[in-house]
Amino acid sequence: MAAGDTALWLHNKLGSTDDLWSGKTICSQINQAKLQNIQACYNALQPHVKVKLMLSFLHLPRRNVEQWRADLEEILLMATHDTDQWVSMIGEILKTFPSMGTLNLDLEDNGIFSEMTSDLNKAVKKAAGARMLPLECQFLNKTALIAATGQQPQPIKHFALKRKPKSAILRAELLQKSTEVASSKKNNPSSSLPLKVRSFAKKMDDATPLKGLPNRTPPSSGFRSPGTSGPSRVNPTPTTPMARPTSVRKDVGIKLLDMEELPLGAKEAKRRRKIAEMEAAEQAKKEKEAAAAAAEQAAATTVSYTPDYAAGLVNPAPSKLPAIQAIVTGTTPSLGPSVSYVPQIRANTQLTAPLAMTSATRTQQARDNLQQQLEQQLGQSQIRTQSSLPVQSQNPLQPTPVSLPGQPPTQPIQQLNNQQPQLQTAQQQNAPKKGLSLTREQMLEAQEMFRTSNIVTRPEKALILGFMAGSRDNPCPQQGHILSIRLSETKEMVLQADNTSKPMLADVFFQMNYQTGEWKRIKKYRESSKTTLVCFGYVFSPHLYVYTTFNMADLMELLTLCSELDEDLSNLSRGDSHRKERIRKHIQTIDTKLKYQVPDFEKDLQWLNIASSLSLYDNLKGNIVILDFFTYCCINCVHVLPDLEKVEQKYSLNDGVVIIGVHSAKFENEKVSANILSAILRYNIHHPVVNDHDAVLWNKLQIQCWPTFVVVGPDCQFLQTFVGEGHRENLLEFIDESLAYFKDKINPCDLKLSLEKDKINETPLQFPGKVTTSNDGKILVVSDTGHHRILILSPLGVVQHCVGGTDRGNVDGSFTEARFNSPQGVAIFGDIVYVADTDNHIIREINLTSNTVRTLAGTGVQGQDKEGGKSGINQELSSPWDVVLGKSTESVKENVLYIAMAGTHQIWVYFLQDSDWLKGSHHSGGTCLRFSGSGQEENRNNSYPTKAGFAQPSGLALSPTLGLMFVADSESSTVRKVSLKDGSVKALVGGEFDPMNLFAYGDKDGKGYDCKLQHPLGVAIVTEESGPLLVADSYNHKIKSVDLKTSICKTVVGPDTNDDGVIKFQLNEPGGLCVSQDKVYIADTNNHQIRVLDLKTQSISNLPVIFSQDETDSRPKQQIKLKGPIEDMKCLVLPSIGDLTFTLEITLPEGSHLTEDSPSRWVLLSEKNGQYTEEFRGEIKSVENSEICTVSANEDLSILYCQCKVYHCGVDNVCKMSQKTFKQVVVIDPQSLTSRRNSHIHFGV
């Protein structure tokens, strides 16, 4: 259907303004093709047609909405820009419906909404004396109105139609004629002869009278009459056919018959009769069995009363009650639902499919009856919220026991004996049931409990709700007064007594005590192949694991005390003396009462920055230990590293304070120790780190999120926990008080640190983060992140400028004076380079003309501002990770700088000059503010930029032609696209539909959500018009390509692959990439290299980083050291002092030549007392044998070194650097007869 036909079709369907209308009248005819045609003809539609069309979207099935989301969002986006106010308003309200399934009611800042409400207010004020709305509109429904105001009189009709609509008149006439026909039909039976009937123009139903046609007498062959409800069945008892009447025929109407009401042939009648007989026999059999069962139950010696809402749970014999099991064990801890962020995703905690809980005798009919009866029982007394009970705010990250107030966290499970229940009298059974009600807390608790349950059935839920509502009628008294219902079953890795982890089944039960009215949840462990339940907790002594039932309860109580301490300290100012008293009281309570022992590290774990593995009890006892639970991809974990550095500066190992990093990985790639080592070097971590790849200690201590600090006392007891970032002062204060409290127990340990940074060799690059090129491809800019500097290179890799030093800092000035701190993103425009100075939390500008560096935005301190709007260095930033240049509204040149603000999970913009911006706003140069992102760490796509959510955006690429910005959103493992026109965010590849799931990662090529990435850090577009988009899939060590038209992602470069079209190459966490002409430059971060991918030849080569001088810009003059391998030359014996001439000859590989852009050089050094002095230096201009210098040989000049550094390029135009040192020993001997006074150096490459 063409666009014009679609517009005509819509006007025919929705164009009428004088008839009744519903969205259902058209939603069933909408499909994706029509939606695409509607986009083309949308502007030609009438306003009321647009409104009706958009309202019909609400009736679409959710499955279709998700499938057609892009088309629906496009139509609604056009509606928001419509000139008609009502169309624009409906579009704004429905804008979030396709993506979120909800309506957008945040319209306070919407100008159209304000204008329309203002007009309505004016209209209301004009009729201030009249009641604009009836009283019913103030209440939710009629029942609420009557309950509040009493019975209302009948409303007075103020208006009366002058004439009824034509449809009402026709309907009345048809009903009247139908009544007449029905009455005459009883008295005047007609002939059964069929007559030919012409077709009718109008639609007919079974009540339409047709004059002149005879009525057909229903046959009386034993079938049901058409008026009988239900399916037509054969009557097993035939009746005598009724004689045909002989009265005179009159003109009466006929009745249209359904298909099943038509007269049947003998064969069909026989078949239906047989089916009816079989059904009757089966029904008789069931009734007989039911009667026998009832008689057997009546003869039983034990009589018990079962409430209506639990009827479906009772079986004839107690042994056939698999859903309600008698738990015969010892004591168990009472656990609440663990709202852990990571363990539920880990491999050692996997949900299993629900097990069958019902026996064969429990039928679906019993369940339905049970559910209906419970609803009726609870419905008679409206479930109300008791506002007198306060709602306690609980930390969602901290599991709490689910029990009645005042109940201890652990309760023994009493043994369920098969005792004979007491007989209940008829008076007790027939007593009226009391009204049941649930408090608001109980309703929320039940909702959370059932949300995490994967086994409990509907009848069991009904029994639980009835018990919580106040019912104390035990449905199974023969089982005792304590019943337990299994809620869920999961697999967990459980620590055993032999220090090994074993997979076991963890069952969570809901236990009800019908005698005391108490309930609680219980967690039990059992063998996977056995049905016996095993209950235990764990407590760690220095050398032995002791299992106990109180350990987990102690941990829960301890975490509660830690939360109370945080809350109390937040209410006290920093200088308040009561802070120390409160901390001392907390430490004393834990040390004397709880004393929860922190479990030791697992054996055979990989340790870094330390010579050997450590044990809390063998090596660290007697110290205050800070355990830092982190994962190196997490930007929040990076933010707390300066806090740990501050602790290391204030306290040394001799003070008895030790920091241990416990790496608990999120991504699979982060479980590899080699990658953790790279992160340690990149982030300059100086304390020991253990690779807890299975997060065993994380799970034992109930850690919930990254980062988390756990402070451990000198007796290895748990003292305090700090969750998240921003706790530096509180941490230092707590350590001070802990050292003072435990001063008699502090025994500093002697750790043999072996820092990884001292083991690596120096390389030209260290963890390069990002790379970019100028528009003409003549300048290459590399962020040498590990060296804290920016390198400006030629296309061949020759260093033109080295900006910044190898030490960290935040200093503006010349290239020699400037200092950076782990810079990442770079962008170049003309002779200006923009830098995202990540760990300094600022944006820098490098001027290649004046050779200076200055700060554009940021205070130098991490901020929490998620809105922005301040100017320059007054605006605080948080870990800017990448930058890209763009244009503002109606600008012809790049005047804005987009910033991937990883710290606040947003996209920001910095105005390089005064610019017009979105929604008609205007901002002056130097202003920095938010462009898109709410600041919540989510994978949320939304048409409103302030509602969308990112998760640590780390790479940006622009396509002004398409009007899109592409974002590598690392923590959600997705690539997103942001509209430059309004900041709306849509998905491209990776992740999944759930915006809260940040664990939808993997390594899979595919389309849209079917594609899976793992922590992508960079994106680059090949051509602005058609792409493709290249993605640095960092943790998969691959480069992938995304087709922008089809959203299909495929691998381009990857290790260990035999797929066609994939270049086999081993990258290691590539962090950035850029495209220049036919080449792709890749920052191969952990390999410390820049790779060059040739798109024409599909080959990869290395880009050498060549320092053309020993001192380039910021590289300060250092003590002279010998470089390269040393080749000893034959000792030269001279008869006397005098001139000594050095000649140099170079032999290169065939086809190679000296590099023109980077001159080769030689340096002549002399040695005296181990110190080297430069005598001469020069440039190598030819490979042929030539004289380079002449020195005066004497006794002080006895040992000479000639260092040669040669830059050469091969036939493949790949340039390399070769370096060698030649040692020449000179001896003065008057007896020497030699006449040679020259030293020939031959440099063979």
Shared domain check, 1009 and 958: yes
Final residue in a domain of this structure, among 106, 124, 142: 106
In a domain, 1216, yes or no: yes
Query: What pLDDT was estimated at residue 360?
Result: 35
DSSP class of 334 = B
0.95 surpassed by pTM: no
- Tell which wins on pLDDT, 124 or 1233: 1233
Are the beta carbons of 1057 and 1093 closer than 8 angstroms? no
- Residue 292 burial by Cβ neighbours in a 10 Å radius (0-12, 13-18, 19+): exposed
Q: What is the pLDDT of residue 20?
A: 59
Q: One-letter amino acid identity for 644? A: L
Nearest to 698 by CA among 371, 348, 1188: 348
Q: What is the pLDDT of residue 13?
A: 74
Query: Kind and range of the H or E element at 990?
Result: strand 985-990
Is the CB of residue 91 less than 8 Å from the CB of residue 74? Answer: no
Tell me: the pLDDT tens digits for 460-486?
Answer: 888 888 888 888 888 877 667 788 888
Q: Is the pLDDT of residue 1086 over 70?
A: yes
The 3-state DSSP class for residue 1069 equals coil
pLDDT class of 77 with cuts at 50, 70, 90: confident
Residue 709 pLDDT: 95
Say if residues 44 and 37 touch (Cβ distance below 8 Å): no
Based on the fold, state whether residues 1014 and 1148 are members of the same structural domain.
no
Determine, yes or no, domain membership for 253: no
Look at 78-87, 735-744, 955-964 and tell me which has the smallest mean pLDDT: 78-87
Position 152, amino acid = Q
Report which listed range, 161-170, 1061-1070, 1198-1207, is most confident.
Answer: 1061-1070
Is the confidence at residue 1128, as pLDDT, over 50? yes
Instruction: Please report, for the domain that includes residue 822, its CATH number.
Output: 2.120.10.30
Instruction: Please answer whether residues 857 and 910 qualify as being in contact, where contact means their C-beta atoms are separated by less than 8 angstroms.
Output: yes
Q: 106, 138, 162: which is the final residue of a domain?
A: 106
Hey, what amino acid is at 1105?
V
808, with CB counted inside 10 A (0-12, 13-18, 19+), is middle
SS3 (DSSP) at 1115: coil
Q: In whole angstroms, what is the distance from residue 794 CA to residue 773 CA?
A: 10
What residues are paired with 1093 via a beta bridge?
A: 1080, 1100
What mean pLDDT is predicted for residues 53-61?
86
Q: What is the pLDDT of residue 452?
A: 80
CA 469 vs CA 345, 378, 1211: distances in Å: 34, 9, 85
Token pair listed for 216: 């057909």
Helix (H, G, I), strand (E, B) or coil at 1034: helix
Specify whether 1008 is located in the same domain as 1155.
no
Tell me what percent of the residues of the chain surpass a pLDDT of 70. Answer: 73
Using pLDDT thresholds of 50, 70 and 90, give the confidence band for residue 551: low
pLDDT of residue 1234: 77
- Please state, in angstroms and rounded to a whole number, the distance separating the CA atoms of residues 879 and 840: 8
User: Residue 1057 — very low, low, confident or very high, per pLDDT cuts 50/70/90?
Assistant: confident
Q: What is the pLDDT of residues 203-235, one digit of tens each?
A: 444 444 444 444 444 443 333 333 333 443 334
Residues 1111-1140 as b or e (16 or more Cβ within 10 Å = b): ebbbbeeeebeeeeeeeeeeebebeeeeeb
CA 142 to chain centroid: 44
Is pLDDT of 570 > 90?
no
Q: Are residues 1015 and 1058 in the same domain?
A: yes
Query: Is 1082 contained in some domain?
Result: yes
- Closest by CA to 667, choosing from 1044, 1003, 1140, is 1003
pLDDT tops 90 at residue 923: yes
Within a domain: residue 1191? yes
Residue whose token pair is 């594609």: 1011
Report the candidate in 128, 66, 130 with the shortest Cα–Cα distance to residue 101.
Answer: 66
Domain boundary among 106, 121, 143: 106
Contact between residue 739 and residue 747 where contact means Cβ atoms under 8 Å apart: no
Report pLDDT for 144.
Answer: 65
Question: Is the preceding peptide bond at 1028 cis, omega within 30 degrees of 0?
Answer: yes
Residues 345 and 463 in one domain: yes
Return the DSSP state at 151: P
Band of residue 284 on the pLDDT scale cut at 50, 70, 90: confident
In Å, how far are 386, 1087, 1139, 1191, 1234 from 1230, measured between CA atoms?
114, 56, 15, 19, 10
Contact 841, 899 (CB under 8 A): no
Query: If you search the block for the tokens 């939390």, which residue do you land on?
Result: 841
Written as six digits, the tokens of 655 are 């003070």
Peptide bond preceding 707: is omega within 30 degrees of 0, i.e. cis?
yes
Is the pLDDT assigned to residue 884 strictly greater than 50?
yes
- H or E stretch including 462? helix 458-469
Return the pLDDT at 1143. Answer: 92
Distance CA 1132, CA 178 (A): 132
pLDDT, greater one: 865 or 531: 865
Residue 311: pLDDT over 50? no
Q: Decide which of 1186 and 379 is more confident.
A: 1186
pLDDT at position 285: 79
Q: Which has more pLDDT, 131 or 843?
A: 843
Q: What's the chain's average pLDDT?
A: 77
Please give the average per-residue pLDDT across 120-131, as a whole number: 63
For 1169-1188, the pLDDT digits (tens) are 777 887 788 888 888 888 88
Q: From 437, 459, 435, 438, select the one nearest 447 (Cα to Cα).
A: 438
Burial classification of residue 1221, based on how many CB atoms lie within 10 Å of its CB (0-12 exposed, 13-18 middle, 19 or more buried): middle
**CA 407, CA 402: separation in Å to the nearest integer?**
9
In sequence order, what are the residues at sequence separation of 6 or more whose Cβ sits closer than 8 angstroms to the Cβ of residue 688?
A: 607, 608, 609, 610, 614, 659, 660, 661, 751, 753
Residue 229 lies in a domain: no
Same domain, 1075 and 1001: yes
Do residues 1020 and 888 both lie within one domain? yes
**Cα 1243 versus chain centre, distance:** 58
Residue 523 lies inside a defined structural domain of this protein: yes
Residue for token pair 């309202």: 55
Range of the domain at 954: 771-1103
What are the phi and psi torsion angles at 98 (to 5°)?
-65, -40
Looking at the 3D structure of the chain, how many domains does it have?
Answer: 5
Sheet with 1079-1084, side-by-side order of all strands: 1072-1076, 1079-1084, 1089-1094, 1099-1103
* Highest averaged pLDDT of the listed ranges 203-212, 417-426, 806-815: 806-815
Residue 168 parent element (H or E)? helix 166-187
Q: How far apart are CA 694 and CA 668, in angstroms?
A: 10
pLDDT of residue 225: 36
pLDDT above 80 for 1190: yes
Distance (Å, rounded) from C-alpha 291 to C-alpha 299?
A: 13
| CB distance 995 to 948 below 8 Å | no
Q: What is the pLDDT of residues 422-464, one digit of tens each?
A: 333 333 434 444 457 788 788 888 888 887 887 788 778 888 8
Quick one: 379 exposed, middle or buried, by C-beta within 10 A (0-12, 13-18, 19+)?
exposed
Do residues 1027 and 1083 share a domain?
yes
Contact present, 1073 and 770 (Cβ < 8 Å): no
* Greatest mean pLDDT among 36-50, 698-712, 749-763, 1227-1241: 698-712
Same domain, 1029 and 1063: yes
- Hey, is 378 helix, strand or coil? helix
CA distances from 354 to 114, 134, 345, 455 (A): 52, 52, 18, 5
Same domain, 12 and 81: yes
Dihedral angle at the C-alpha atoms of 431, 437, 442, 448, nearest 10 degrees?
90
Cα distance between residue 150 and residue 1037, in whole Å = 72
Same domain, 1027 and 916: yes
The per-type count for the chain, helices as H runs and strands as E runs, is: 23, 56
For residue 259, is it within any domain?
no
Under a CB-based contact definition with an 8 Å cutoff, are residues 21 and 14 in contact?
yes
For 700, other C-beta atoms within 10 Å of its C-beta total 18
Instruction: Compute the distance between CA of residue 236 and CA of residue 234 in angstroms, rounded to an integer.
Output: 6
Tokens representing residue 598 in the block: 């922190």
Kindly report which listed range (160-174, 307-321, 880-894, 1051-1065) carries the lowest average pLDDT score.
307-321
Angle, vertex CA 1105, rays to CA 1100 and CA 1108, nearest 5: 145
> Quick one: which of 951, 683, 648, 678 has its CA closest to 839?
683
Please work out, in degrees rounded to the nearest 5, the angle formed at the alpha carbon of residue 298 by the alpha carbons of 292 and 300.
Answer: 110
State pLDDT tens for residues 177-209.
777 777 766 555 544 444 343 333 444 444 444
Residue 344 in domain:
yes
Q: Both 884 and 936 in a single domain? A: yes
CA distances from 860 to 644, 836, 842, 898 (A): 18, 12, 6, 19
What's the pLDDT at 639?
93
> Residue 705's domain is classified under what CATH number?
3.40.30.10
